[in-house]
A and B are shown apart, each in its own frame.
Chain A
Amino acid sequence: MIAFLKKYEGLWLFVHSPAAIIATFVAALIFLGALFAPWIALVNPYDLASFSLFDGLLPPAWEDGANPKFLLGTDDQGRDMISSILYGARLSLVIGISALTIAAVIGVGLGLAAGYYGGRFDAIVMRIADVQLALPAILTALLIDGIARGILPAAIQQDLRVAVLTLAIALSLWVNFARTARASTFVQMNKEYVQAAIMMGQRPMRVMFVHILPNILGPLLVILTVDLASAILLEATLSFLGIGLPADSPSLGTLIRIGMQFLLSGEWWILWIPTLFLVALVVSINVLGDFLRDIFNPRLR
């Protein structure tokens, strides 16, 4: 076992850093919880008939006046907090991860091409990036939310809300990928294996994706973890501004927005339990991101 660990430097470092272990444990727990939410959760918060109003505002089990059936209490609608959080985390992660993938595909594609062709194409891509940076993420989300409401037929608007939100978040994150991919591609371009491939007469697409891409995955992976955390936070902020998901299919962000109304009214758990959950999720993802950055950092090679 030790030999196996030694073989891969990354693993050896992993075993020796408690922070990474705890973070992975927490993140894995949350991911699994979210994945198996329908089976674990007491009640499906999205199905209106599955909970009743009369169980509203019940405190967590350890406080008086609680109903032991709901370990962490219920929100104003009578939804069990744990089930809401699991479903909420699931939705937040679905949105976060799909937004990330879209952002990665757009960002890396444009970044690679900008780095490879350079010159005018590069300038254009960078100006588009500037325009995107000039529009803060919240703005992009607002505007896309508006378009969707304007264009899409009313009937399917409701179930497309998740897609609209994902696209909005993705559009505000692709710039990070583009900038990193472009910088790394510049470095690889004057490496000799790239010149060899170009000399052979290989098509630009093949040079970019078969040769250059594998060599710039390191820094991109780090961006992936860090941006996953900010995607989830962005979703929460959008919900706060009232643009995020509707209240009947809550994500973590919506749960926190609903919780904000009860901040002072004594029902502290409606806000703080989802917030702590979100912090645990985001911190563990960030810690993993830092750990990956150290692994891929050439200094360790």
Chain B
Amino acid sequence: MKSLKLALLGGALSMSALGASAETFRWASTTDPQTMDPHAVNSAPVLSFLNNVYEGLVRRGQDMSIEPSLATSWEPLEGENGWRFNLRTGVTFQDGAAFTAEDVLFSYQRASDEAADVRSWFAPVTDVRVVDDFTIDFITSAPNPLFPDSIANFMILDKDWAEANDAALPARDAENFATMNVNGTGPFTLASRDPGVRTTLAPNETWWDDVDHNVTEAIFTPIGNSATGLAALLSGEIDFIQPIPLQDVAQVEGRDGFKVLEGEETRVIMFGFGHEHDTLLYSSDVTDANPFTDPRVRLAAAHALDIASIDRVLFRNKIEPASQLVPAGISGFSEENQDRPAFDPERAKELLAEAGYPDGFSFGLKCTNDRYINDEALCRAAASMFAAVGLNAELTTGPVRDYWPQLREDDFDMYLLGWSPGTFDMEHPIRFLLHSQDDEAKLGSWNFGNYSNARVDELLPLIQQEIDPAARQAMIDEVVAITQDEVAYIPLYTQPLIWAAKDNVELTQRADNFFMLRWVTVN
């Protein structure tokens, strides 16, 4: 929990420094947003960047809680499942066009079209009805208490502008006007766009909210090589970089004029098993059975891992051990099931003996080498810890571009996975990781090992529809308890989030790794 508090503190500070002098703010990150079209790609870097230009009906505050944005208030509909949103009046788009419910309806049709990658957000929505210019209803197939939370990144663009520049749908293969140009209601507008090189934002004079940043020009440049990025910061050419390698934290803190912001990302790193596999693929000694189908063997593997020493050596004490698939502080986190299997090699050996493998067995561990922080180093460390209890892991690491296809073809015995809940609620990982694979209903699509438990499958829809928070939490706790007993996954830790900036820059680090320009003050 300590990390989130720190983030809050940072936020409060920045609110006070109002009206400082006009400033150019230069910042960099490892990847460049692929497109400026809010509905084309559902990836964190794109949505994070566009949140500065476009706005949704609701938005997340500095502490991740949902706040009114283009919708001033919203309440569940009587008599049918769904929500009514009352829209803010007097808001104009950056090209001066008025903001009305028509724009919301149009954006919904655009975002839920087959061409849009974000259409999965609207799976529960059956119909959208415009009541009047500033009221709109979203009808859902079933009661959906978390619906407002799940559309924080659903951004609204102007209907006439889009249709005039024939960008009614996100670009399918060829780019369209919306790929390179913007027309949102957000605090900033696009000044220039050179994909992969430099993108500049300028403040939106007609923004409806009160301005508490003093940025007159924001220049974003992607820097792929982390060493070069750090050099760019230390040489003063850029004011802020996200993220920096955690082994360089000491170096930055050591230099005066620079500071480091440390926080926890909402991403939990875990090991998954091939529950459905009936044999081991990479084993040299056990070829006729899959020991990992026995929960005792999975628990033994969990006991073999010493998260504390991994934290000390690999992550320099910057990670939080994880007990379940979401970090603490996220809605739906199960307070009762906070303890995770302790580091106990002896217990691990006993469990293996009980399960019939006294001297262990060899198996294939598959990891990425360029997706999560120190992913390769972690797997090598884990492999040596497994080996200590007799679980001889044959490690295979590779770039992420080939990783997902291999997992989809069940080409593993044990695999590394990091998961950040899109809706910042426990329901998200249950829907994608714990529910058994069901392609039509688009459920369990990332449950590569196809862990399946009837009770969990039964509870998911109930959780999704339960309005009363207490009842909902109880059901979630039950799911977490089941999956912990059965060791569906071995949650390891939440990944650290390290940003670095010049001393004279005030900014807020949010847990979902989104960077909001509107909270930046350069003094």
Quote the shortest CB–CB distance from A266 to chain B (angstroms).
Answer: 6
Chain B contact residues, CB within 8 Å of chain A: 226-227, 230-231, 245, 247-251, 281-282, 309-310, 313-314, 369-370, 376-377, 380-381, 383-385, 387-388, 393-399, 402, 406, 411
- Interface class of chain A by DSSP: loop
Say whether B247 contacts A53, CB under 8 Å.
Answer: no
Asked if A263 is at the interface (CB within 8 A of a chain B CB), the reply is: yes
For the complex, is A300 an interface residue (Cβ under 8 Å from B)?
A: no
Judge whether B397 and A261 touch: CB under 8 Å.
no
Q: How far is the CA of A265 from the CA of B315 in the complex (A)?
A: 13
Distance in angstroms between the alpha carbons of A262 and B282 in the assembled complex? 33
Residues of B within 8 A of A242 (CB): 369-370, 399
Closest to B231 in A: A264
Cβ of A155 under 8 Å from chain B: yes
- Among B250, B281, B369, contact of A265 (Cβ-Cβ < 8 Å): B250
Shortest Cβ distance from B249 into A: residue: A265
- Tell which of B248, B380, B398, B406 has the most Cβ of chain A within 10 Å: B380
B406 touches A154 (CB 8 A): yes
The distance from the CB of A63 to the nearest CB of chain B, in whole angstroms, is 16
Q: Is the CB of A247 within 8 A of B399?
A: no
Q: Mark A33-47, 1 if CB is under 8 A from B, else 0.
A: 000000000000000
Taking a contact as CB atoms under 8 Å apart, the answer to whether B250 and A266 are in contact is: yes
A149 to B370, CA, bound (A): 17
Whether the pair B227, A264 counts as a contact (CB closer than 8 A) is: yes
Q: Is the CB of B393 within 8 A of A261?
A: no
In the complex, how many angstroms separate the beta carbon of B86 from the nearest chain A beta carbon?
Answer: 51
Q: CB-CB < 8 A to A198: which residues of B?
A: none
Residues of chain B lying within 8 A (CB to CB) of residue A155:
281-282
Contact B245 A248 (CB under 8 A): no
Interface size classification for chain A: 20 to 34
20 contacting pairs across A/B (C-beta < 8 A): A48-B393, A49-B388, A52-B384, A53-B310, A53-B381, A53-B384, A53-B385, A54-B309, A77-B377, A157-B396, A158-B396, A246-B395, A246-B397, A247-B376, A247-B377, A247-B380, A247-B397, A248-B397, A260-B227, A263-B227
Task: Identify 12 new A-B residue pairs, CB closer than 8 A, beyond the known A247-B397, A261-B226, A261-B227.
Answer: A49-B384, A53-B381, A76-B314, A76-B377, A149-B398, A246-B395, A246-B397, A248-B383, A264-B230, A264-B231, A265-B248, A266-B251
User: Which A residues between 106 and 139 are near B, CB-CB below 8 angstroms?
Assistant: none
State whether A56 and B396 are in contact (beta carbons under 8 Å apart), knowing that A155-B281, A247-B369 are contacts in the complex: no
Closest B-chain residue to A247, C-beta based? B376
The 4 closest A-B pairs by CB, nearest first: A265-B247, A49-B387, A48-B384, A56-B313
Tell me whether A57 is interfacial, beta carbon within 8 Å: yes
In Å, the complex CA distance between A263 and B248 comes to 9
Rounded to whole angstroms, the CA-CA distance of A132 and B394 in the bound complex is 36
B381 touches A77 (CB 8 A): yes
Chain B CB within 8 A of A218 CB: no
Q: Does B247 contact A246, Cβ atoms closer than 8 Å?
A: no
Closest Cβ of chain A to B243, distance in Å, is 13
Q: Do residues A267 and B247 form an inter-chain contact, with CB atoms below 8 A?
A: yes
Most B CB within 10 A of own CB, among A48, A49, A57, A267: A48
Given the complex of chains A and B, what is the CA–CA distance between A247 and B381 in angstroms? 12
Question: Contact check: which of A48, A53, A265, A266 meets B313 at CB < 8 Å?
Answer: A53
> How many angstroms from the CA of A115 to the CA of B194 in the assembled complex?
51
Q: Are A48 and B247 in contact, with the CB atoms below 8 A?
A: no
**Residues of chain A with a CB closer than 8 A to B282's CB:** 155
User: Taking the nearest CB of chain A, how far is it from the CB of B374, in angstroms?
Assistant: 8
Residue of A54, A242, A260, A264 most packed against chain B (CB within 10 A):
A264
Please tell me if A219 contacts chain B, counting CB pairs below 8 Å.
no
Cα distance A134–B138 in the bound complex, in angstroms: 58
A78 at the interface (CB under 8 A from B): yes
Decide if B380 touches A77 in the complex (CB within 8 Å): yes
Selected from B247, B309, B380, the residue in CB contact (under 8 A) with A262 is: B247
- Is A51 in the interface zone, CB < 8 Å from B? yes
Q: Is the CB of A265 within 8 A of B380?
A: no
Chain B residues whose CB sits within 8 angstroms of the CB of A76 once the complex forms:
247, 313-314, 377
Q: Which residues of B contact A77 (CB under 8 A)?
A: 377, 380-381
Known pairs A248-B395, A261-B226; A154 contacts B309 (CB<8 A): no
Alpha-carbon separation in the docked complex, A242 to B232 (Å): 23
A53 and B309 within 8 A (CB):
yes
Taking CB atoms, residues of chain A closer than 8 Å to B387 are 48-49
**A52 contacts across to B, CB distance below 8 A:** 384
Q: Which residues of A contact B385 (CB under 8 A)?
A: 53
A167 to B227 Cα, complex, angstroms:
31
Distance between Cα atoms of A248 and B387 in the complex (Å): 14
Closest Cβ of chain B to A74, distance in Å, is 10
Would you give the shortest CB distance from A45 to chain B, in whole angstroms? Answer: 10
**Nearest residue, chain B, Cβ from A149:** B402
| Residues of B close to A149: CB separation below 8 A | 398, 402
**B383: chain A residues within 8 A (beta carbon):** 48, 248
Residues 149-175 of chain A, each 1 if its beta carbon lies under 8 Å from chain B, else 0 = 100001101100000000000000000
* In the complex, chain A residues whose CB is within 8 Å of the CB of B227: 260-261, 263-264
Within the complex, what minimum Cβ distance (angstroms) separates A20 from chain B? 37
Given contacts A53-B309, A266-B250, contact A48 B399 (CB under 8 A): no
Q: Complex Cα distance A119/B473, Å? A: 82
Measured between alpha carbons, how far is A149 from B376 in the docked complex, in Å? 19
Q: How far is the CA of A149 from the CA of B247 in the complex (A)?
A: 32
Bound CA–CA A246/B366 (angstroms): 12
Chain A contacts of B370 at CB under 8 A? 242
Q: How far is the CA of A134 from the CA of B411 in the complex (A)?
A: 36
Interchain CB contact under 8 A, A48 and B402: no
Complex CA distance for A48 and B251, rounded to whole angstroms? 30
Question: Smallest Cβ distance from B409 to chain A, in angstroms?
Answer: 8
| A154 and B281 contact, CB distance less than 8 A | yes
Give complex CA distance A244, B397 in Å.
12
**A32→B204 CA distance, assembly (Å):** 68
With A48-B384, A260-B227, A264-B227 known as contacts, the answer to whether A154 contacts B248 (CB < 8 A) is no
Chain B residues with CB under 8 Å of A48's CB are 380, 383-384, 387, 393, 395
